[in-house]
Structures are given as C-alpha cells and as structure tokens.
A and B are shown apart, each in its own frame.
Chain A
Amino acid sequence: MNGFPLLSIVLWLPTLGALLLLLVPRDNIAAQRWLALLTSLVTFAASLPLYFGFNLGSPGFQFAESLAWIDTWGINYSLSLDGVSLWLVLLTTFLTPISLVATWVSVHKDFRMFQVLMLLLETAMIGVFVAQDLFLFYIFWEFTLIPMALLIGIWGSTNRVHAAVKFFLYTFAGSVFMLVSIIALYLLNSSATGVATFDFDVIQKNIASGVLAIDPVWARALFLGFFVAFAIKVPLWPFHTWLPLAHTEAPTVGSVILAGVMLKLGGYGMIRFCLQLFPEAANWAAPAIGVLAVIGILYGALVSFAQTDMKKLVAYSSVSHLGFVVLGIFALTPQGVSGAILQMVNHGLSTGALFLIVGYIYERRHTREMADFGGLWKVMPIYGGLALAMVMSSVGLPGLNGFIGEFSILQGTWLSPTLGWGFVLPSVFGVIFAATYLLRMFRLTFMGELDKPENAELSDITPLEIGMLVALLIPIVAIGFYPNFMFEPMQPSVQAITDSLTNVLAAGR
C-alpha cells in the first residue's frame, strides 16, 4: 500500500519551504523571493508525475499512502488521489508559483510573512484534496482558514478586517456542522461494522455495499451537514455574502488564490462526500440545489453587471461561474460532474488571470473604478490583448477552456434525470449575461476614448507580468482546443460515482 510517498512530498514541500523561509533574514527580499518561488516550482514539478503516472483505467484511489496516527480512534495519516482530485491538485501547484511571482510586484510590506502564509496555504489546500482520512480532511479544511484570513486581514484594502473576520467566521460556522456529520458518520460506521475508522474509502465502500445502511432521514441530515460547509465555501447562493467582500478587500494575490483554489475546496467536497457517500440524499436534494445554483448564476451575473468596481465585478462573476459548477455536480450525470470538475479548473485559471489583470492596473493607478479608465488599449496594447483573451475565456468563447466546461455542464444538466432542460434554459441566459458584464467591463476599461491624462502616461505591462498571464494562457488555450487530455483521467472515477447514483435511482427510492 505504501509505494513511493509522492503525495506526501507534494503535500509537505511547501511547508518545508515556509519553515526555511523563517530562517531567511527579514530584509533579504531577494532570497525570500527565490526561495519561495523555487519551493513552489519544485512542488509543481513533483506533482507532474501524478499526471504522467496516473493509471487512466482505474476508478479507485491511487498513489495511496497510509501511516497510523491516532490509532485508538481509528485515525490514520492517509493520502490518495483519484480522477476527481488529480486536476485540482495540479491546479493548486500550478497557480501557486504564478501567485508568488505576482507578489513580487504587489506586496510591499512584511514580504517574508506573506510568502510563508502562501506556502502554508498551499499545503493546506493540497491536503484537502488528497486526504483520504476524514479527520485529516477536516484538519486541512479548517487550517486553510488561518493563512487566508491573515492574508486578507493584513495586506488587504480599507475594509480588510471586516472582510477577513466575516470570511473566517462564516466558513468556520459552516464547517462545524461538517464536523458533527463526520463524527456521526464515524460512529454509525463503527457500530455497523465494529471497526472504528475514519478512512473515506472504507466508509464509502461500506455504504455502497450496504454493510453500512444509514436510515434515509439520517443520511439526509448528514448530507446537509456536509453540504452546508461546502455550500458556504463554493459559494452557493444564498451563502455567498462573504465572497464579494473578501475578494474586494483581499490583496491581488490573495484574490487569485482565493478564487483560484480555495473556492474549489467546496466543489470538491460536494463531489467527494455529498455525492459519493449519500447518493440517495444527493438525489433527493438535487432539484432544490439546482434551483439555488441557477439563482446564483443569474443573480451573480446581474449584480456583476451593476458593478463599477472591477474587482467586485470579477468577484460576483465568481458566484455566477461557480453556480454552473454546482449545477453540473448535482446534475448527477457523467457529463455534468466531469464538466464541473473541468470548469473548476477553468475558473481557477481564468478568474485568477482576471484578478491579476485588475491587480496590474491597480498597482499603477490605485483605483479599480471602471469610470477612471477608458481607452487603455491604445497605451497598453499587450495588456489589452491578454486581458481580452482572459475575458473571452471567462465568457466561454468556443476555442477556449470556458466553453468546454460550460457546454459539458449544460449537456449534463439536460441529460440529467433529476434536473433536465428546465434548468438549462435559465442557465443559458447566465452565459449570455456573462458576456454582457465582462464585455462591458472590457469596453469601459480598454476601448473608447483615452480621455484621462493619467491613463495616457501609463506604460505597458512588464515582461514579468506578461509572463504570468502567458503562463495562464497556455493551459487555457490547450484545454479549449484539446480538452480530452483533461477529461481522460477523470472518466473512470466520475463514471463510478455517477453509476452508483443511477443504481440508487434505479433501486426505486
């Protein structure tokens, strides 16, 4: 069971880097930059074998490793990876170096601490995706809150404290219900099988085989316990109110990581726990959740359209885009779920890029109001071109990644026995609205007359900034043209999940 501990290496390298960073003297900014970047690049390199060594035919968990931890309680240090988590881990290890490079231009105080927190956050986020033990999962889940809250609260804008506190408390409140569900599940499993364990694989197999038969009412209660925590994290309307505040007040890099990876923890949790452990409850709740998702799509889009602050616009667009993700997950079809996973990766790339774009202009002009801009394309053509590419990706232009994800989700929803075309029609409006608000943002900022003298003096973005956007553009285009390389590893795992869901449906519940 314990092969080469690749997952542990990927997981703990960032923390090792963070600890080494603490030894670097506070004023040696250059050393801090390179040490942090090197750590994250090595982590990314270490995570690539996860893709290349991935067994494409197997639906189960791979790269598994396990160490006894708190044996008396049945808690182990268990890590593993499957088709659902593979791309999310790679997204994390890919986005972190880019974010760290972005700190070189945007973080001006307490540089070392920022890097340390980013690396610790990376470990925590990877940990959520690879933890196979429920207790370990919860620890990493909660641990993401501390660095993120500090990142928002120390380096953010004027209302940063309020944003950080709201983020922490709202998310924490949701996760305590998940803790209760985990405890309840553990106790149910141990009384049903006599073996006290927190191992997800064991519990899931017990549920699937019927050894652990949970009373339907209890299953729905446990499902809701997990779901609340994930719904707040995603965020699903109406649990989204922390997000616009957190995104707007966070520093640029904080927003990139928050939108890029942190929100995906919720989507991952929904697939892993809500769908895999409680198929009947997922089926029961799917229509209601679908409605919430559709409302989120439309609400997020409409509110985005009303924004004058670019960062807030992108923040609300996250609510809209992630509404699609939740819709895809609870379509409960292979196309829906794999589309959702792909869209999570897409959103990470494109919205991360959009936040970087907003950050670049903010660094120069210290304002994010679209009214202060106009005609930027004339003075900053490269910036404009790359921004257009990222906007198009977020809109879902065919040829870029966003289209593939949205199309899969909509197809999955149409084919879904629980949701169906009634949910697709409003969502399509959401796609149209996305184009509306994003293109409006682009028009107001980049096109039109260059009537403000401050804007005329701006120089184009630096090679470093160009590099970051190009680095994000490459996978965006690659996924858009050849998405199969993304879908291939997902298929067996997603198929297994949706098969068990259809079995439950067929069993006539």
Chain B
Amino acid sequence: MPEQIPIPSIDFAVILQLIIVFGWGTLLLLIDFAVPTGRKHITGWLAAAGLVVAAIVGIPYWNSSTSTFNDMIRLDNYALTFNWIFLTVGVLTILISLEYLSRHKIERGEFYSILLFAIGGMMLLAQGTDLIVLFLGLELLSISLYVLVGFSAARFPSEEASMKYLIVGAFAAGFLVFGIALTYGATGLSNLAAIAAKVADPSFSAEDQLLMLAGGALLLIGFGYKIAMAPFHMWTPDVYEGAPTPVTAFMSAGTKAAGFAALTRVLLVALGPQYEVWSIVVAVLAAITMIFGNIAAVAQLNVKRMLAYSSIGHAGYILLGLLSANARGIESILVYLAAYTFTAIGAFAVLIALEQQGEEAWNLTDFAGLWGRHPFLAIAMAICMFSMAGVPPTFGFVAKFDVFTAAWQAGYTWLVLIAVITSAVAAFFYLRIVVQMFMKEPVREVPAEVGRGLSVGIGLAALGVVVLGILPTPVIEIARQSVQLLGQ
C-alpha cells in the first residue's frame, strides 16, 4: 500500500482574499461571454466590485497572524496592508482604463480578468513566507503583465515592450530560481523564518554562509528587476512607454509594491542575520538608483518616459526604508508605497485623458496651457507632480519625510543627503510640467476626453494625495501596526 502523503490542513481564512480575486477573475472570463461587445466596461465595474469585496473581507483579519499550507502563506498585518494597497491600485487602474480601452479599440473583457490575476499574484508575493510561494506569485504577476503590456497589440511599441518585458522577466525569474536553489543548497529549507533560524545558528558553516550569500545576491537581483532597482532597471522606460497607459500605472504602483513586499521579507527575515554583509551593497545600489533615475529623467521630453525614469528614482527612496531595517523603516516603506499609489496613478491618469487613439500625447508641449483648457486635469496633475517632488502639503512629502527619518535613524546619513539632493534635482522635471500647464500657451490642439470612470479615478487620486497629506494619521497608524515580519 503506497504511503499516504498527508495533506496539510488549510486555513481558508488566510487565502480568502486570494480565492476571491482569483476566483472572481476566472468567473469573469465566463461572465464576459454574456456581456455584449461594446459594453465591456460592465466587466470592468464587476471586476472592481470584486476587488472591493476582497478588501472588505480582509478587515476582520486585522491583528491576527495566521499561516497555512505548512507556514508557506501567512496573513498578518503586513500582508493585509499590502493587499489593501494592491486592491486600491487595482480599483484605480480599472477606473482609469474603462474608457481608455474602448477609445483605443482594445476593449476586451479578458483585460480585467488578467488584471485580477496579476493582483492575485501580487497578493501572493505579499503573503508568501516561503521562497517557492514567492516565486509562484512572481511568475503569476509577471505572466499576467506580459499579456497586459502587449494589450495594445496594434501599436508596435506595445508588442515590442511586451517582448522586452518577457525576455527580461525570464532572466529575472532565472536569477530568482537559481537563488532559491542556492539557498536550498545552503540551508535545505525554503521557508523564510526557518532559513533565518538556520543562518543565525552558530553551527551554520562558513561554506554554507557563502552559498547563502550567493543565493541571497541572486534573489536580490531577481526581485531587483521587478522593482526597477539600478542596474536592473533598463527595461523600465521602454516597457512603461510601450504598454497601454493604464497598465503602466498599474505596473508603476502595483508591481513595485509587490516586489518590495517580497524583497523586504526575504532580505530582512531570511537574510536578516547577514545584514552587515548585504546592507552596504544594497545601500550603494540604492544610491545609484536614486541618482540615475532622477538624473536620467531630466533629459526626457516624453512625459511617459519621464515618469518611468522617475519611478526608478522612487524605488531608490523606498530602498532607504528597507535598509533601515527598523520598525520605522518598514512603516515608511508602506507609507511611501501608499503615497506613490495615489500619486503615480493620478499622474498617469491625466496622461490617459490627453491620449487619443493612434496619437500619443505624451510630449511635454502637449501639456502647454492645460490650465486654460481643462483646469481639473491641470490641478490634478499639479498636485501629483508636487507630491512626486515631495513638496508639502502632499502625501508624497509625508512619505519622503518618513523614509528620510527612518534612514537617518539607522545611521545612513550619507544616503539621506544623496536622497535630498536628488529630490531637489527631481523637482526640476516635475516643475517643468507644472510650468507647461500654467505658464505656457497651448501649442497644438489636444482634445481631452474625461469620461466618468476617468474623472472619478483622477479625483480620487488627487484627493487622496492632498487629504492624506494633511491628515496622514490613519495610514501611518495602519502602517505602524504592520511592521512585524514573521516574529522579527
């Protein structure tokens, strides 16, 4: 009689949000058959409703830390907060893509389902406490994104971007799996907390330490690709530019958040005992990221590419929070990602409003005189630009402030100085857009279409930036209570 493999007990509460997102995504594929072509935005609203339900479902699980699947997936405050960030990103993305898809003749119901799958992948990255689950989440997210990036297939840049992302993503996945293999070779484990215990154990031999570090480096590279950390950021400008703009917004805010969710757990838990070794490497990488991202954006006249380079810069700032490795640091990562969600999606949403089918209105001069033509868009964009630059009283400023405080507290004074200098440099290209909108006369006629979903999306984003900039306490409180990374 063959031995029975015991099935681990599954606590469905832990994966409830995942079930809702994945399940609803699958169901939507079927429901979509019943939705007539041309009214596919119904699928969109249904998808958004599903995300809202998933968010609400998570509320009772606050302040409870439970794991399932043999401690491979956990639902703690950290994961829950990240899940809420992902779901917010998702809802905002759906809102801004509703009219975009039909305007650019790429309206297909599968878009929303694949978006939901991507969000599910992100949630796995936040909830995973085992390297295998993290890999699973990463691949789910990446594959969904490959398709989403290439969704504007009629436009050649979109196909090209999708191919680029696929090839680069394959490399990244390769590095990640190699890293997991080396880690397994060194420790015989794939569970993050168990690895941490093993590495901290004095009996952990020197060869295994070295192997572990090599594995950790490869893991860093694998995740570094996803968060667009230099020097693994090369794909970002081209992929961001080629993708349909709602997908760019989604990637910019959501993928970054998911990548950091996973990277934080891996670096601070599994590689926690070896902090002194890898922290200097990551610090230098953070510095390069900030410097490169912000300086490269200065030269950009294409606003979409400029936002892509600037998102590289922002990844650098979040790395400061990661490096701090204290409670304040992890709190600052969450606050920054929440702020970046509203800010980035708001900015990209305004870009969407100006885009017409076949014409890409991303040139700086297309913003000229926007204040006179569409004051709502101009003010929303100005708010988002000031938030990206870190000018009070926006949420972006609060987030930057938090990250700088955490990093200074951890002793990275030189890194904070680099961060503020690059912030000052960044103000230049953010201000440039404000200048175009308010202080220049229109160069050419750029009609803007702001449908219902888009205006709600832009309004929510801009409002979030300002209101949370003045009254950030709720978000800060939630973040502060989410800093426990597996019994750290």
Contacts and interface: CB of A to CB of B under 8 A. Distances in A.
B401 interface: yes
B392 A143 contact: yes
Contact of A183 (B405, B421, B432): B405
A470 interface: no
Contacts of A72: 473, 476-477, 480
B420 interface: yes
Contacts of A186: 405
A142 B439 contact: no
Interface string B415-431: 01100110110011001
A457 B402 CA distance: 62
Contacts of B389: 172
B473 A183 contact: no
Interface string B445-477: 000000000000000000000000000110011
B391 A187 contact: no
Contacts, number: 81
Contacts of B391: 142-143, 145-146, 172
Interface string B91-130: 0000000000000000000000000000000000000000
Given A70-B473, A168-B431, A172-B424, A180 B438 contact: no
B438 A154 contact: yes
Contacts of B476: 70, 72-73
B421 A176 contact: yes
Given A153-B438, A186-B405, A146 B431 contact: no
A69 interface: yes
A19 B480 CA distance: 34
A139 B392 contact: yes
Contacts of B427: 168-169, 172-173
B280 interface: no
B408 A184 contact: yes
Contacts of B174: none
A75 B402 CA distance: 12
B158 to A, nearest CB: 34
B146 interface: no
Interface string A170-197: 0011001101100110110000000000
Contacts of B409: 187
B435 interface: yes
Contacts of A7: none
A142 B400 CA distance: 14
A386 interface: no
A114 B393 CA distance: 20
Contacts of A168: 427, 431
Contacts of A169: 424, 427-428, 431
A407 B370 CA distance: 51
Nearest to A160: B439
Given A177-B420, A179-B401, A142 B431 contact: no
B135 interface: no
Interface string A130-163: 0000010011101101100110011000001100
Contacts of B397: 139, 142
A154 B416 contact: no
A183 B423 contact: no
B472 A70 contact: yes
Interface string A318-350: 000000000000000000000000000000000
Contacts of B431: 149, 165, 168-169
A257 interface: no
A160 B438 CA distance: 12
A150 B404 contact: no
Nearest to B416: A180
A16 B13 CA distance: 48
A245 interface: no
A180 B417 contact: yes
Nearest to B432: A165
B400 to A, nearest CB: 9
B230 to A, nearest CB: 22
A118 interface: no
Nearest to A155: B439
A173 B427 CA distance: 9
A250 interface: no
Of the four ranges (under 10, 10 to 19, 20 to 34, 35 or more), the interface on chain A belongs to: 20 to 34
Contacts of B477: 72
A187 B408 contact: yes
A71 interface: yes
- Name the prevailing secondary structure of the A interface residues: helix
Given A70-B473, A70-B476, A168-B427, A143 B438 contact: no
B424 A173 contact: yes
A421 B439 CA distance: 48
Contact of B435 (A142, A164, A177): A164
Contacts of A149: 431
Contacts of B24: none
A173 B476 CA distance: 27
Contact of A161 (B408, B421, B439): B439
A70 B424 CA distance: 25
Contacts of A138: 392
B438 A179 contact: no
A120 to B, nearest CB: 11
Contacts of B480: 72
Nearest to B422: A176
A69 B427 CA distance: 27
A71 B477 CA distance: 10
A150 B385 CA distance: 14
Given A70-B473, A180-B404, A183-B405, A143 B393 contact: yes
A161 B401 contact: no
Nearest to B424: A173
Contacts of A164: 435, 439
Contacts of A153: 435, 438-439
A183 B435 contact: no
B331 to A, nearest CB: 9
Contacts of B393: 139, 143
Nearest to B409: A187
Contacts of A146: 386, 391
Interface in A95-145: 135, 138-140, 142-143, 145
Nearest to A221: B413
Contacts of A154: 438-439
A176 B390 CA distance: 10
Given A70-B472, A139-B393, A161 B386 contact: no
Contacts of A139: 392-393, 397
B373 interface: no
Contacts of B421: 176
B424 A165 contact: no
A291 to B, nearest CB: 27
B119 to A, nearest CB: 29
B384 to A, nearest CB: 14
Listed residue (A146, A153, A183) with the most chain B CB atoms within 10 angstroms of its CB: A183
Contacts of A173: 424, 427
B392 A165 contact: no
Nearest to A140: B392
Nearest to B428: A169
Given A146-B391, A169-B428, A180 B420 contact: yes
Interface in A45-71: 69-71
B466 to A, nearest CB: 12
A466 B207 CA distance: 87
Nearest to A139: B392
A179 B389 CA distance: 14
Nearest to A145: B391
Given A139-B392, A180-B404, A183-B401, 9 more contacts: A70-B472, A70-B476, A71-B473, A142-B392, A142-B397, A154-B438, A161-B439, A176-B423, A184-B413
5 contacts: A142-B392, A154-B438, A169-B427, A172-B427, A183-B404
Across the A-B interface, give the 3 residue pairs with the lowest CB-CB distance, nearest first: A139-B392, A176-B420, A153-B439
Interface of A: 69-73, 135, 138-140, 142-143, 145-146, 149-150, 153-154, 160-161, 164-165, 168-169, 172-173, 176-177, 179-180, 183-184, 186-187
